[in-house]
Amino acid sequence: MTRSLSDRDLLFFQDNGYLVVPSIVPIARIDELRRLIFRIYTKLVPADRNIPQTEPWNDPWFDRRLLDLRTENPRLFGSLYDCAQSAVAVSRLVTEPDVANAVAGLYGDDPQDLAYSGIMLRMDAPKDQRNVLSWHQDRAYYPQNLDGANGVVVTIALQDTSAELGALNVCPGSHREGLIEPEQTSKDDYETTEQRAVPQPLVDKYPHTIAELGKGDMLIIHMNMFHRSGTNMSDRFRFSALCRYHRIMTSDFVPFGLLYQFNDFMAERARRAGAE
Ligand SMILES: O=C(O)CCC(=O)C(=O)O
């Protein structure tokens, strides 16, 4: 049986523009994905295949190895990221029946009437500044519904996610501002995240809350709500899986296609492996 949101949840979301739904994804499903990330890592770094840890994907040792790889071989680290993004396991996790049902429930829709985009696995490194998103609205990136009230972004925690680990910051009530003209900064390189920031004076009108999550919890955010990445002050990576949901049956829905971007580094590696 799928779970549904309570009237209290719906009211909270309408008032605040966000909602935490606890334990929406089975822990076993998350562990499978974390294990897959480790398996992709050992495909790229075979020397680490036979290490003694029983669950290396949960071990601080793996965080240190990831951090070393990110510093010493950013292209290979980026390739690990790209490979993991493409995994069916990520899409499955963020489109689990309970997840889609909860989102559809916000609108009284059938889950079949939802489109999705922007499925992402995030691996946020300790102390990283390159990929943190400053205060923004997802509607500024995702125009699939012209009215931001007809879409949400969901993020699912792949481990307990405290403020120290970089849990997202949200501005309750800011979804009522509608779409704001963002202050855009260009993306300097492949590894840096493009910013479409909400001007600070608007952000300062609202209180800030840190949305700490338990492993398997979901945070749902209205497309117009101001939110930002937290700063990961810990020495562990923050793993999360995200998806945007859009209402298909509303008159403001804009269908869309995807442009694929291929990883040159891995393409060259694959060509060389074929030639050997
Ligand atoms: O997880 C994060 O740090 C930020 C994600 C986010 O805000 C988004 O993708 O809209």
Question: What DSSP assignment string belongs to 191-208?
Answer: TSPPEEEPPHHHHTTS--
CA 177 distance to own-chain centroid: 23
Looking at the CA of residue 228, tell me the nearest atom of ligand 1. 7
Question: pTM of this prediction?
Answer: 0.94
pLDDT at 88: 97
pLDDT at 97: 96
Looking at the CA of residue 138, tell me the nearest atom of ligand 1. 10
For residue 218, list its beta bridge partners: 21, 156
**Range of weakest confidence among 84-93, 180-189, 190-199:** 180-189
pLDDT at 50: 83
**Cα of 153 from ligand 1 centre, angstroms:** 9
Looking at the CA of residue 242, tell me the nearest atom of ligand 1. 9
Domain ranges for the chain, please list them.
Answer: 7-262
pLDDT at 3: 75
User: Which residue among 119, 130, 133 has the greatest number of ligand 1 atoms within 8 angstroms of its CB, and so is best to mutate?
Assistant: 133
Is the CATH code 2.60.120.620 the one for domain 7-262?
yes
**Cα of 240 from ligand 1 centre, angstroms:** 9
Q: How many CA atoms lie within 13 A of 162 on its CB side?
A: 6
Query: What's the chain's average pLDDT?
Result: 94
pLDDT at 187: 62
**Range of weakest confidence among 102-116, 139-153, 171-185, 239-253:** 171-185
Residue having the nearest C-alpha atom to atom 4 of ligand 1: 229
